[in-house]
Structure 1
């Protein structure tokens, strides 16, 4: 039995409280990024689903295609590409605000901190790319939240108490700046020390190369127990806000084992008896994550069926289309699911459950192995279907698996609602006091 009081206590910790507020605040940015990423993957990518189905290379002009590609890729870059910058600012701001410090100055200081770390970890300083994009993008949002929280704590201990003023004079603002000088200088010194450490040791902070060994192992292992363990690690990192492994696995997988599986399927006309039946890259992307949308899409369906909160229902409606096509970040950020203790175990155990059921079905020859390449933007529920070259048993199996995920998540949603109610009551009591 999950103790609601314990979850409420965790959620009331300053880190989780500030993180939840930060993520919810950034929901509009995540929404814009999700929709334009969906548009880019479906329409303006040569390996996109709609692009190939409708043969858009023959239908639309090159000028229109390049313009659409430029706009969609650009919006994705200024939303998801520097999402960590926004997260760091608001995390520091909300942390400082919890302790009644100058939140605006804390946010500005946090931006300086993370930008210098991104500069130090950049490997292309001789080109126009001055900052490491991997440190600033949404797949590394956890480190941005940690930096923002650290800056907020420095303001807590070294900054002076601050009460917002409705109409500030220039002199008042100057006073605020001088009062923030000590914590800001301490943060700047710490960022320089950390930057030198990163630069000298050539550390790549939370980017895809940092997880190369993990990703490579997932892609080539055919050991089911190892696949299960790696699934736990990857799903935990994804809940934490480190999405690089999931992002890489959801793309095109090129390795000798997957190539051998595909070659066998092309030679024999099916993938029932391929050499590597439990390849990690195939099982995790196709069944554990269903292209990245399994848990998130199931939660959206449940909330649409039973939730009475108009704001939550609106969020589910906005998130449904991109989530159906595997762009789930608007919902994981907006609810939020990321860094929410209520969804920690479901985010790990449900993909593990899906993987085990799928592996059992493959062992019993109920479904073939998924080996064929998948176009970008393919809906998560159809990823195994296309991965098996249109096997209908696989489609039925995937739908049943998704329905079972909904059943498993139903009590978790009830628990989440009870936790939210307790938090609202505690907040109301603090206001009344």
Structure 2
């Protein structure tokens, strides 16, 4: 039995290594490493701005920030600017980097490499323009929200398309000489083609490319109270982020109403009888998304408990603060979890196990249901405790979910480390 498990582990490691040695995936991996510092800075800025400087922030309320910190408004504006300038351009940066790295092996001329990345950025903009501004003859307006961390997947796809096309064109000319006329022809041809495709998309579709992709895998059902509905939402949300569209799927419109009704029931009546005990908020958000979608805090703990590579150790420590505040972008990009076949298994399995356990405990009324609203940046393990007004059983369930998820992540983290050591030339 042990031999079979070892053989399975080796097959998984070898599969991960072969996957990352693919030319396309290798370029994506390099691009993710390139943008990690920018994602980290933006996540820290967002965490500080939302948790420390907003009135609905956890640390703003618990530490009474307004009493001792001066110029809160200016600091909030400053951090918002940093967040918008970093996370808000993640999709653009990925398009540039992926296209750049795909062209690197076929040319030693920096002009061609930079031009491939530049064309990818412009092409991405062609697909993220408001329909009315183009067809109505108004000033062109870009869809900025699709160019940030939610647009990482689209950035990857555009980078792969442009990078491979530019790479093919370079393969039909002499690699020794930098041919400015040839570069000009390739550049203009690609921009004309991508602009035509962008106009075709805008003319025939009412949403941006990223929004269209999101609608394909967005939660198709409206039955979140059932265990299968909660698990289905978890799987789709996990797949959404694993592919590179960071940020949770929007819940159905009834969720905010149900949360308000739960709070009203607690405030108006004695006892803890809630009209909606099993919702996305009371089960998934509180117990299955500790550290962000995918139970990122459990992944971080599993990483520290294993023998991480030097790079992974740095990623873990640098991502600790935002992960505790439920901002998972640094871990998703840094390890990376995005598009990692091995990490996709615990990324879906861990929160699914937490949902099953938590749903059962709430259903059997072993723990009270979360009713109080949670402040932004509330540490993940404390969400259930604070949301139930200080229930120790809710805190125990949160810790049990965290331990269970860490145990699920641990063997896969070890396998990923073995794969990365092979890729990076390290000795285990």
Q: TM-score, normalised by structure 2?
A: 0.87
Task: Name the CA distance, whole Å, in 1 between partners of 2:291 and 2:300.
Answer: 16
Question: Does the alignment pair 1:221 with 2:231?
Answer: no
**Structure 2 residue corresponding to 1:113, chosen from 123, 130, 133:** 123
Following TM superposition, by how much is the alpha carbon of 1:343 offset from its aligned partner in structure 2, in angstroms? Answer: 0.6
Task: Name the CA distance, whole Å, in 1 between partners of 2:350 and 2:45.
Answer: 29
SS of the residue corresponding to residue 295 of structure 2 reads helix
Q: Is the 2:306–2:413 Cα contact (8 Å) retained in structure 1?
A: no
Q: Is the 2:255–2:280 Cα contact (8 Å) retained in structure 1?
A: no
User: Size of the alignment, in residue pairs?
Assistant: 413
SS of the residue corresponding to residue 290 of structure 1 reads coil
What is the aligned partner in structure 1 of residue 265 from structure 2?
Answer: 264
What is the aligned partner in structure 2 of residue 65 from structure 1?
Answer: 72
Q: Is the 2:151–2:245 Cα contact (8 Å) retained in structure 1?
A: yes
**Structure 2 residue corresponding to 1:157, chosen from 168, 190, 197:** 168
Following TM superposition, by how much is the alpha carbon of 1:299 offset from its aligned partner in structure 2, in angstroms? Answer: 2.1
SS of the residue corresponding to residue 411 of structure 2 reads helix
CA 1:162–1:155: 2 relative to 1, 3 Å: same
What is the aligned partner in structure 2 of residue 431 from structure 1?
Answer: none
Question: Does the alignment pair 1:145 with 2:125?
Answer: no
Task: Name the CA distance, whole Å, in 2 between partners of 1:362 and 1:388.
Answer: 12
Question: Does the alignment pair 1:94 with 2:97?
Answer: no
**Structure 2 residue corresponding to 1:82, chosen from 74, 89, 92:** 89
Matches within 5 A, 1:301-316: 301-307=301-307, 309-316=309-316
Q: Is the 1:122–1:132 Cα contact (8 Å) retained in structure 2?
A: no
What is the aligned partner in structure 1 of residue 43 from structure 2?
Answer: 34
Task: Name the CA distance, whole Å, in 2 between partners of 1:240 and 1:158.
Answer: 28
What is the aligned partner in structure 2 of residue 240 from structure 1?
Answer: 243
Q: Is the 1:95–1:149 Cα contact (8 Å) retained in structure 2?
A: yes
Following TM superposition, by how much is the alpha carbon of 1:308 offset from its aligned partner in structure 2, in angstroms? Answer: 5.1
Following TM superposition, by how much is the alpha carbon of 1:204 offset from its aligned partner in structure 2, in angstroms? Answer: 2.7
What is the aligned partner in structure 2 of residue 403 from structure 1?
Answer: 403
Task: Name the CA distance, whole Å, in 1 between partners of 2:31 and 2:320.
Answer: 22
Matches within 5 A, 1:126-205: 130-160=141-171, 175-200=178-203, 201-205=205-209
Matches within 5 A, 1:306-385: 306-307=306-307, 309-385=309-385
Q: Is the 1:299–1:409 Cα contact (8 Å) retained in structure 2?
A: yes
Matches within 5 A, 1:417-428: 417-424=417-424
Q: Is the 2:384–2:394 Cα contact (8 Å) retained in structure 1?
A: yes
CA 1:328–1:7: 2 relative to 1, 3 Å: same
Task: Name the CA distance, whole Å, in 2 between partners of 1:341 and 1:262.
Answer: 41
Task: Name the CA distance, whole Å, in 1 between partners of 2:161 and 2:21.
Answer: 17
What is the aligned partner in structure 1 of residue 4 from structure 2?
Answer: none
Following TM superposition, by how much is the alpha carbon of 1:17 offset from its aligned partner in structure 2, in angstroms? Answer: 1.3
Q: Is the 1:282–1:370 Cα contact (8 Å) retained in structure 2?
A: yes
Task: Name the CA distance, whole Å, in 1 between partners of 2:169 and 2:266.
Answer: 64
CA 1:159–1:202: 2 relative to 1, 3 Å: same
Following TM superposition, by how much is the alpha carbon of 1:355 offset from its aligned partner in structure 2, in angstroms? Answer: 0.4
CA 1:285–1:177: 2 relative to 1, 3 Å: farther
Following TM superposition, by how much is the alpha carbon of 1:211 offset from its aligned partner in structure 2, in angstroms? Answer: 4.6
SS of the residue corresponding to residue 210 of structure 2 reads coil
CA 1:384–1:212: 2 relative to 1, 3 Å: farther
Q: TM-score, normalised by structure 1?
A: 0.86
Unaligned runs of 5+ in 1: 166-171, 429-433
SS of the residue corresponding to residue 276 of structure 2 reads coil
Following TM superposition, by how much is the alpha carbon of 1:126 offset from its aligned partner in structure 2, in angstroms? Answer: 9.4
Q: Is the 1:123–1:132 Cα contact (8 Å) retained in structure 2?
A: no
Q: Is the 1:160–1:180 Cα contact (8 Å) retained in structure 2?
A: no
SS of the residue corresponding to residue 19 of structure 2 reads helix
Unaligned runs of 5+ in 2: 1-7
Task: Name the CA distance, whole Å, in 2 between partners of 1:127 and 1:373.
Answer: 43
